[in-house]
Structure 1
Amino acid sequence: MTPTPTLARRLWEAVEPLHAIVYFAPQPAAAARRIGLRGYWMGYFASRVAPLGPVPPVAVAAMAYGFAPSMVARAIPDAWSYAEPALVLETRIAAAAEALRAAFDPAEVTALAELAEPLWETVAACRFDGRPLAAAWSQVPRPADPVASAWLAAGVLREHRGDGHVLAAVAHGLAGLDATLTFVAAGGMQRDVIQPARGWTDEEWAQSARRLAARGLLDRDGRLTRLGGALRHDVEDMTDRLAAAPVERLGPTGVEDVIARAAPLSRVLVDTGAFPVPNPVGAPRP
């Protein structure tokens, strides 16, 4: 029987599409090209780490975690020779708001704008110890445009949980590719979808499978063993616990209110195809 998602996980599921539409909508990719960034993935990596400044590829790969370092190195540091981080950041925020306005009808845009303040109240409950991406995004000035502001707050929340997920996976002895393989083995995503999107070669994939099998986490057919399933459950449980600060501060009623307001908007994005499910992010329809 599938366990009931925790309140922290339900909050992520409700909010994630509001931020992650930028990875699928045409407006952010087009905006990145206009400022000189070459190709989708250069725009992706540069935009995601822009609040940190011109960080080197080894740091970006460490924070992106599930991506192959070689994939990161094809985009960073070259991206900073085409566009400075401040311009990348400004462009990403404006394009995100444009994408959201294009995806929603006027009433939904109003609802999203009204959600900005509750989302920032949720952000205010977060702690950023050991969370470099979330900490950096939390320091970006709130835009005057409430749609852009809602997107930015949703982004801080998703990076807060994402950084915590990396901490949880590393604490359980998983390299980035190892975590990806356990995700695939758990049925979270098809290999042919996520492997190309994360840049790993077949040989790197096979090496990870051998590492996990040696630990007793995968069987010879690449499926999770009982031990592997328990480890995967523990990683997700720790991720939820590390993301629980908003629940602790706002209380169940406060978090349920944010979920109730965010989830219908995220469902619109899913149901209209603006945010595809399944996706490499691993986010479901809320």
Structure 2
Amino acid sequence: MDPSPTLARRFWEAIEPIHAVAYFTPEPAQAAETVGLTGWWTGYFAGRAAPVGPVGEAAGAALFFAFAPAKVARALPAAWQSADPAKVLDSRLAAVRTALGRVLPPTASGSLRRLVDLLERAAEGCAYEGRALAAAWSRVPRPADVAGRLWLATTILREHRGDGHVVAVVHGGLTGLEASLTHVATGNVSRELIQRSRGWIDAEWEEARRRLVARGLLDRHSRLTRTGGVLRREIENATDRLAAGPVVTLGETGVEEAIRLAAPISRHLVDTNVIPVPNPIGAPRP
């Protein structure tokens, strides 16, 4: 973690746990089962991809760059045989509204509308070139309720940043798996947590490790070399730069206000064990 995080990174840290309610509460998984999706990961991939449409195996692997293609292929396109994307999307939005109503701190109610206004204005600053997930979520009709609007705004913003991170990783010459190994090598997350959630088998992990050692990015103990550390920082800095549009749109004062309103909500979600830390997303306690 950069000891002096940028405003864009602080903004992401403040809002990411709100979006992550979709992954760490039972309601979205239950909703996925109700519409016919079998298995937690099928609901995960279909739920995130639903605004894009009935994507198949190859497009799914490209969208979910950090995951093993075999893991994505077990969910897509088979998910759409059980439920069409519109039905999946509607059920997910309804489930997240219910989950947020249950887990948000009571003290947040007075400031939610102002926070939502700020986040929706920030989302207007997103550019979508090469960012399929973010672009698709930006076209989802705005819910009428504050909780639904809150989650959708955080989702657009985090998918915008996530798509930008993929661009930065590819530009840095890494695959999704190699990026995961360099992430683990920072010490911020364990191999067990990342490998289990992303679906990479040991042979794939070892092959990627050898490539990174050969390139001088990892040492024989799987630690970042100086060159590897520089590359990792360049990727993170590029991710922040590519996420700057919403920050520029809000301006420093607006972003600081959004952080001030969102961070206590996210800390509450972490402190009440709704969102675990550490987690595969890499989101810390704000």
- TM-based fold match above 0.5: yes
2:48 equivalent in structure 1: 48
Deviation at 1:113, TM superposition (A): 4.1
Q: Distance in 1 between matches of 2:29 and 2:110?
A: 25
| Whole-angstrom distance in 2 between the partners of 1:162 and 1:134 | 8
Question: In 2, distance between residues paired with 1:105 and 1:196?
Answer: 31
Write out per-residue CA displacement over residues 121-157 of structure 1, whole angstroms, 9 at most, x where no aligned residue. Answer: 0101111111110000000000001101110000000
Q: Which residue of 1 aligns with 2:131?
A: 131
How far residue 63 of structure 1 moved from its aligned partner, in angstroms, is 1.2
CA contact under 8 A between 1:46 and 1:88: conserved in structure 2?
Answer: yes
Give the equivalent residue in structure 2 for 1:38: 38
User: Secondary structure in 1 aligned to 2:98?
Assistant: helix
TM-aligned CA deviation for residue 114 of structure 1: 3.9
The answer to whether residue 186 in structure 2 is matched with residue 199 in structure 1 is no
Map residues 154-193 of structure 1 onto 2, 5 A cutoff.
154-193=154-193
**Where do residues 6-45 of structure 1 align in structure 2 (5 Å cutoff)?**
6-45=6-45
Structure 1 residue runs of 5 or longer lacking an equivalent are none
Alpha-carbon spacing, 1:105–1:2, altered in 2? closer, same or farther (3 Å):
closer
- Quote the Cα distance in structure 2 between the aligned partners of 1:109 and 1:25: 20
Retained in 2: the 8 A contact 1:51–1:137?
A: yes
> How much does 1:74 deviate?
0.5
> What corresponds to 1:100 in structure 2?
100
What letter matches 2:59 in structure 1? A
Asked whether the equivalents of residues 114 and 146 of structure 1 are also in contact (C-alpha less than 8 Å), the reply is no
Cα offsets for 1:191-234 (capped at 9, x unmatched): 11110100000000000001111110000011000000000000
Q: Distance in 2 between matches of 1:164 and 1:105?
A: 31
Return the alpha-carbon distance in structure 1 between the equivalents of residues 109 and 68 of structure 2.
36
Q: Which runs of 5+ in 2 are unaligned?
A: none
Distance in 1 between residues matched to 2:76 and 2:109, nearest whole Å: 34
Aligned residue runs from structure 1 range 106-255, under 5 A: 106-255=106-255
| Residues matched between the structures, number | 286
Question: Percent identical across equivalent pairs?
Answer: 58
- Alpha-carbon distance between aligned partners in 2 of 1:110 and 1:278, rounded to the nearest angstrom: 29
Change in 2 beyond 3 A, CA 1:31/1:109 = farther
Q: Which residue of 2 aligns with 1:5?
A: 5
SS at match of 2:144: coil
Q: Distance in 1 between matches of 2:2 and 2:154?
A: 27
Alpha-carbon distance, 1:110 to partner: 4.5
Q: Greater CA deviation, 237-246 or 101-110?
A: 101-110
In the aligned structure 1, how far is the partner of 2:17 from the partner of 2:219?
34
Counterpart secondary structure, 2:20:
helix
Secondary structure of the 2:111 match is helix
What is the CA-CA distance between 1:115 and the residue it aligns to? 2.0
> What are the superposed Cα offsets for residues 37-91 of structure 1, whole Å, 9 maximum, x if unpaired?
0010000000001001101111111111110000001111110000000000001
Aligned Cα RMSD in Å? 1.1
Residue 262 in 1 paired to residue 262 in 2?
Answer: yes
Q: Equivalents in 1 of 2:176, 2:109: separation in Å? A: 36
How far apart are the structure 2 equivalents of 1:147 and 1:128? 24
SS of aligned partner of 1:130: coil
TM-score (norm 1): 0.98
* Residue type at the aligned position of 1:115: L
Question: CA 1:101–1:110 in 2, change beyond 3 Å: closer, same or farther?
Answer: farther
Q: For residue 106 of structure 1, report the CA deviation from its aligned partner.
A: 3.5
Counterpart Cα distance in 1 of 2:125 and 2:263: 20
Distance in 1 of aligned mates of 2:185 and 2:112: 36
1:59 pairs with 2:59: yes
TM-score w.r.t. the length of structure 2 is: 0.98
User: In 2, distance between residues paired with 1:110 and 1:26?
Assistant: 26
- Structure 1 moving runs of 4+ over 6 Å: none
* C-alpha contact 1:31 1:91 (8 A) present in aligned 2: yes
